[in-house]
Amino acid sequence: MTGGSEHDKCQKQSDHFHAASYAFDTRAIHHAFSPVDYKRAVQPPVFLTSTYGFESVEANDAAAALGGRLYAREYNPTTEILEQRLANLEGAEAGLVVSTGMAAFGTLILSLLSQGDELLVHKTLYSNTVAMVEQGLPRFGIKVVSVDLSDPSNLDAAITEKTKLVYFETPVNPLSSILDIAAISERAHAHRVKVAVDSTFASPALQRPIEHGADIVLHSLTKYINGHGDTLGGALLGDAETLHRLHETGLRYITGATLAPHSAFLIMRGLKTLSLRIDRHSASALAIARTLEAHPA
């Protein structure tokens, strides 16, 4: 490779954006997208297509072996950029985006757990996640064990041979209490059980659970990550093997809850200002808290 052409230069530049040496905000704007791959457009195109052409039966079989790339429930170039960008920001190997945060939870649980398995959760969860664990999962023979994980040692008594996953939010919706990701993960891993953290209330600008030992991160993209109140979305980030399973089982044939490519475009636009918005949210929240603390009532 001579490195002399315009393409090579741009390609090198885009490779740089994959490097962890770039800071968070630069990666939030540029990771996994090279203008040179898309006629030098600076914004990712929205690929509104339901299916893809292929050159030969052999090429199709080879692509299918990598995971479905023929049909837009399984593959879309616009949503793929968002998946890679979010995975990068969370320090995960791979990512999957789906239509809502609840679709992410459904994809996660229905892909990894079966009848007879147990799910261990923190006692407080987002209201619709509560509905899923109390009303939904028992209908399918999945037992949900609810414990107070503010004391991580409570996990030891609640975990059994049937426990397949530990799931909690931090900060917890709605009261924003904080759970100790590292302490909970250490105890779960001692029992060879994976840990998934709903990090929606923090966003990767404030907290990256994988850096603290968690295996999988869930986001409602509807909230801070998109940040403009104009679309729903959900994401799962984690190791490549688990994400392959979530993609090939959960998204492809259990939920089918694909994120619309236009929503992926909007979420990428929102993501660019995540840090700026979180700084303001945090400053405002602190000002309100100080005012309330000093208020006689």
270 binds ligand PLP (CB under 6 A): no
Residue 297 burial (CB count, 10 A): 3
Contacts with ligand PLP in 180-209 (CB under 6 A)? Answer: 198, 200-201
Instruction: Choose between 30 and 86: whose C-beta lies nearer to ligand PLP.
Output: 86
Measured distance CA(148)–CA(161) in Å, rounded: 20
**Which strands make up the sheet holding 94-98, listed edge to edge?**
94-98, 234-238, 216-220, 194-198, 163-169, 118-122, 143-147
Q: Which of 182, 185, 224 is nearest to 205 (CA)?
A: 224
Contacts with ligand PLP in 210-229 (CB under 6 A)? Answer: 220, 222-223
Encode burial over 179-188: b for 16+ CB neighbours within 10 A, e otherwise: bebebbbebb
Contacts with ligand PLP in 144-183 (CB under 6 A)? Answer: 169, 173
Contacts with ligand PLP in 84-123 (CB under 6 A)? Answer: 100-102
Binding residues for ligand PLP, total number by CB under 6 A: 15
Instruction: Choose between 47 and 126: whose C-beta lies nearer to ligand PLP.
Output: 126
Instruction: Choose between 210 and 221: whose C-beta lies nearer to ligand PLP.
Output: 221
Q: Which of 232, 235, 251, 271 binds ligand PLP (CB under 6 A)?
A: 232
Measured distance CA(239)–CA(235) in Å, rounded: 13
Give the residues lining the site for ligand PLP (CB under 6 A): 100-102, 126, 129, 169, 173, 198, 200-201, 220, 222-223, 232, 234
